[in-house]
Structure 1
Amino acid sequence: MFHKTSFTTLIIGVFIVYVLHTCWVMYGIVYTKPCENPKSESCISPYLTGKQRLELSVYTAVRHNAEGGHTLILKEEDFDLHSKFERQVNISLPKKTRKNGTLYALVFVHQAGVSPWQDPRQVHQVTQLTTYMLPKPPEVSLIAGQEEPSPKEQRRSEQGAEKPISHWRTRLTLNVVSEEFVFDRNALPADVHRYLKIHQHGKKMVYLPLLFVDELSNRVKDLMEINSTTKEVPLTISYDTISLGRLRFWIHMQDAVFSLQHFGFTEKDTDEIKSIFVDTNLYFLGLTFFVATFH
Structure 2
Amino acid sequence: MPQQDNLSSSNGTGSDPSVFFLTVIPGMEALHLWISIPFCSVFTVALLGNCILLYVIKTEPSLHKPMFYFLAMLAVIDLVLSTTTVPKILSIFWFNSREISFNACLVQMFFLHSFSIMQSAVLLAMAFDRYVAICNPLRYTTILTNSVIAKIGLAALARAVLLMVSVPFLLRRLPFCRSHVISHCCCEHMAVVKLACADTRFNNVYGIIVTLFIMGLDLIFIFLSYVKILRAVLRLGSKEEQLKALSTCGSHLCAILVVYTPVVLSSTIHRFRRHVTPHVHILLASFYLLFSPMMNPIVYSMKTKQIRDRVLLLFRGKSF
TM range (shorter): under 0.3
TM-score w.r.t. length of structure 2: 0.24
Bigger Rg, which one: 1
TM-score w.r.t. length of structure 1: 0.25
More helix by share: 2
Structure having greater relative contact order (Cα 8 Å, sep ≥ 6): 2
More strand by share: 1
